[in-house]
Amino acid sequence: MTRNALLTLTLASVIGLGLSASAHADIIESTSSYDSAGGYDFVSTFPPAGSATIGTYTFTIPTGDTVTGITISGSFGNGDSATTALSDYYLGFSSNETAVEVAECDNIAADCYSNQNGPTGWSVTLTAPQVAALTTGITGGSLDFTYTWDNNTSFAFPGYDQNVYAGPATIDITYTGAATPEPAAFLICFGGLAGIVSLRRFRQL
């Protein structure tokens, strides 16, 4: 390989390194603490069917970028109560509010329902299929955090109301852009170029 060919190959490799870095970013948002509006004793009063919205996350994913991960964390119970009524929690959007289940309190023996030392924290990182199921909401820049009531008759007594209590829930949306130059990569690129030029001049002396 000639000196010029080696110089060209090395220069191309250095420039390629400088241009191959992908941009990564995170969007982090939180809902407020939540208390259900009124309680239900499951004897004379029953919660509404369907889902109720705790909060909405609004965000903007730059055009051409791809969401690579979503993590959401929160708690059963909040500052008002250490526990919550039996309930299930979801991420969704206007046309499908229960698209992905992210947490559940389905057992009267579980800490979320019975542990007076709560609140009880939970956290989940969505799988790729779950992220895909939220595409409509992601594209629209809005995801709802919702819940549904379980039909809990285990402790159903007239006048003994049960309530849903949820602590603030935080979502972390990670997305990646197209390959773009980063400052550190530029330094490597131009540092390598300067070294090649210096070496060539030294050999010509």
CATH, residue 59: 2.60.120
Scored b (16 or more CB within 10 A) or e, 92-123 reads: bbeeebbbbebbbbeeeeebbbeeeebbbebe
E-state strands within the chain: 22-30, 34-35, 52-58, 66-76, 87-93, 96-105, 120-125, 142-149, 165-166, 170-179
Query: Contact 116/61 with Cβ under 8 angstroms?
Result: no
Domain containing 138: what range? 23-178
Nearest residue to 145 (alpha-carbon basis) of 45, 66, 75, 69: 75
Report which of 196, 194, 191, 199 is spatially closest to residue 17, judged by C-alpha positions.
191
Do 13 and 64 sit in the same domain of this protein? no
Residues 38 and 104 in one domain: yes
pLDDT of 199 reads 42
Same domain, 127 and 113: yes
- CA gap 97, 32 in Å, rounded: 18
82 and 16 housed in the same domain: no
Q: In the chain, what's the furthest Cα-to-Cα distance?
A: 98
Q: Let me know: does 120 contact 76? Beta carbons within 8 Å.
A: yes
Tokens standing for residue 41: 């004793």
Record the pTM: 0.77
Answer yes or no: do 146 and 75 share one domain. yes
Tokens of 78: 């909040």
Same structural domain, 88 and 186: no
pLDDT along the chain (205 residues), means of 10: 46 44 82 93 93 97 95 97 97 98 96 95 98 98 97 88 97 83 46 46 51
Residues 108 and 204 in one domain: no
Res 195: pLDDT: 46
What whole-number distance in Å separates Cα of residue 85 and Cα of residue 150?
Answer: 8
